[in-house]
Amino acid sequence: MTSNPASSKHLYKTVALVLVVLEAFAAVVAPQFPDPGHPGMSRDEQIQLGFQTAAQVYKQMPVLPDNSPETQYIRKLGTKLVSTIPSQNSWPFEFHVIPQKEINAFALPGGPMFVNIGTITAASNEAELAGVMAHEMSHVYMQHSAKQAGKAQTTSMLAGLAGLVLGATTKGTLGSLAQYGIQFGAQGLMLKYSRDDEAQADAVGAIILYKAGYNPKSMADFFQKLAAEGSSGPQFLSDHPNPGNRQEAIQAEIAQWPPKKYSTNATAFNTARQHAVGVRAYSGQEIEQGAKSGQWAQLNQQKGATFRPPTGVPVSATSSTPPTPAGKPVSIDSVLPSAQLVTSDLGPLKIARPNNWQVIPPAQNGQDLRIAPPAGISGDSVGYGVVINGVKPPNGQSMNVDQLTSELVRSMSSGGDLSPIGQAQPITVAGVQGRSLAMQSTSPFPDAKGQPQKERDWLVTVPRSDGSFVYLVFVAPQAEFERFRPSYENMLRTLQFRD
Ligand code: ZN
Q: Mind listing the pLDDT tens digit for each residue in 24-72?
A: 444 557 899 999 998 877 888 788 878 878 888 888 889 999 999 999 9
How buried is 440 (Cβ within 10 angstroms: 0-12 exposed, 13-18 middle, 19+ buried)? middle
> What distance in angstroms lies between residue 161's CA and the mean position of ligand 1's atoms?
28
What pLDDT score does 137 carry? 97
Q: Give the Å distance between the CA of 331 and the centre of ligand 1.
A: 49
What spacing in Å lies between the alpha carbon of 202 and ligand 1's midpoint?
Answer: 7
For 273-284, the pLDDT digits (tens) are: 999 999 999 998
What is the CA(350)–ligand 1 centre distance, in A? 51
Ligand 1 centroid to 191 CA: how many Å?
Answer: 9
CA 86 to chain centre: 27
Portions of the chain given CATH number 3.40.1000.10: 321-497
Q: Which of 132, 146, 68 is nearest to 103 (CA)?
A: 132
Average pLDDT of span 105-130: 94
Q: How far apart are CA 274 and CA 268, in angstroms?
A: 10
CA 111 to ligand 1 centroid distance, Å? 14
Average the pLDDT over 156-180 and give the result. 35
CATH class of 321-497: alpha beta
For the cut 50, the answer to whether the pLDDT of residue 10 exceeds it is no
- Exposure string of 229-256, with b = 16+ CB inside 10 Å and e = fewer, is eeeeebbbbebbebbeebeebbeebbee
Residue 270 has pLDDT above 80, yes or no: yes
337-379 tens-digit pLDDT: 998 999 988 777 889 999 999 888 766 555 677 899 988 988 7
pLDDT of residue 65: 95
CA 138 to centroid of ligand 1, rounded, Å = 8
Distance CA 390, CA 230 (A): 46
Residue 201 Cα to ligand 1 middle (Å): 6
C-alpha 119 to ligand 1 mean position (Å): 15
* Lowest-pLDDT range of 9-23, 166-180, 448-462: 166-180
Lowest mean pLDDT among 164-168, 311-315, 379-383: 164-168
Count CB neighbours of 156 within 10 A.
Answer: 14
pTM of the model as a whole: 0.58
CA of 199 to the centre of ligand 1 (A): 8
pLDDT bucket at 310, cuts 50 / 70 / 90:
confident
Residues in the chain, overall count: 499
pLDDT at residue 285 above 50? yes
